[in-house]
């Protein structure tokens, strides 16, 4: 050993090993392309339907055909909620009343929820919105108005029923608008209060900030195309065979 110098061995600190069953928090895939695409389509088509229907803008046939497209999308999303990817299925995000109450109890806090998909409140709103959209789409098939708007099934029922369904078709836009407003307010609340941007996930990349990888199963493109073809066939059959010759 040289005089005046000491070589001291430095002990290396070992990083603690991760606990079994845990993964590093990060951004993990949740919503697949068909689920996100149906959200895009419903948003755009419902907005178009409201503007053309409520304000009477544009030719009537655009409102009718956009209504058909919206109905196809809703029928697709309902089917996808039964046989689609795990995060899109109703069985994945529909919660019991007790689970909804438990979620509400901890909702006001600032901590992120890190929920892998639609939370109990979001799942309930999705179900109600799809039911209302389906009801509006089906009633639209029976509409007949002074502006020459006529659904393919208008002649299949009596005049009194046509008037009733036409009025109901117009009324259904208002609870849907209320739901849209609640949806937007909830997204703003999660962004400002909890620091969670769930809107970008559902409309763009489909990934959420989560504590662990949920490992959600993806149904695949082939199944999505089959479900889309079936949805087109159902609505197309109504359009083609619905009118009275």
Instruction: Count CA atoms closer than 13 A to 197's CA, side-chain side.
Output: 8
Which CATH architecture describes the domain 27-206+219-241? Up-down Bundle (1.20)
Between helices 60-83 and 33-55, what is the axis angle to 10°? 150
* Alpha helix segments (H runs only) across the chain: 33-55, 60-83, 90-93, 97-106, 120-140, 159-171, 173-193, 198-200, 221-241
pLDDT, residue 153, reads: 96
- pTM, two decimal places: 0.87
Residue 120 in tokens: 């109990």
Q: Give me the tens of pLDDT residue by residue for the chain, a chain 245 residues long.
A: 444 444 444 444 444 444 444 456 788 999 999 999 999 999 999 999 999 988 888 888 899 999 999 999 999 999 999 999 999 999 999 999 999 999 999 999 999 988 999 999 999 999 999 999 999 999 999 998 866 778 999 999 999 999 999 999 999 999 999 999 999 999 999 999 999 988 888 888 999 999 999 999 999 999 999 999 999 999 999 999 999 87
Nearest C-alpha neighbor of 72 from the set 22, 125, 140: 140
Domain boundaries, the chain: 27-206+219-241
Residue 3 in tokens: 């005089």
């Amino acid at each position: 050993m040289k005089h005046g110098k000491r070589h001291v061995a430095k002990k290396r600190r070992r990083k603690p090993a991760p606990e079994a069953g845990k993964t590093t928090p990060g951004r993990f895939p949740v919503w697949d392309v068909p689920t996100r695409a149906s959200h895009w389509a419903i948003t755009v088509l419902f907005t178009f339907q409201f503007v053309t229907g409520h304000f009477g803008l544009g030719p009537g046939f655009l409102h009718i055909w956009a209504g058909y497209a919206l109905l196809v999308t809703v029928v697709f999303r309902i089917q996808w909620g039964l046989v689609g990817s795990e995060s899109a299925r109703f069985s994945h995000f529909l919660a019991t009343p007790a689970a909804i109450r438990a979620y509400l109890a901890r909702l006001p806090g600032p901590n992120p929820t890190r929920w892998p998909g639609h939370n109990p409140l979001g799942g309930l709103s999705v179900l109600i919105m799809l039911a209302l959209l389906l009801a509006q789409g089906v009633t639209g098939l029976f509409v007949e108005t002074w502006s020459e708007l006529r659904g393919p099934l208008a002649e299949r029922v009596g005049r009194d029923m046509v008037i009733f369904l036409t009025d109901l078709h117009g009324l259904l836009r208002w609870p849907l608008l209320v739901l849209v407003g609640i949806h937007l307010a909830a997204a703003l609340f999660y962004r400002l209060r909890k620091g969670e941007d769930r809107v970008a996930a559902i409309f763009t990349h489909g990934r959420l900030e989560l504590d662990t990888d949920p490992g959600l199963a993806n149904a695949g493109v082939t199944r999505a195309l089959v479900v889309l073809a079936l949805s087109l066939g159902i609505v197309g059959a109504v359009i083609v065979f619905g009118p009275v010759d």
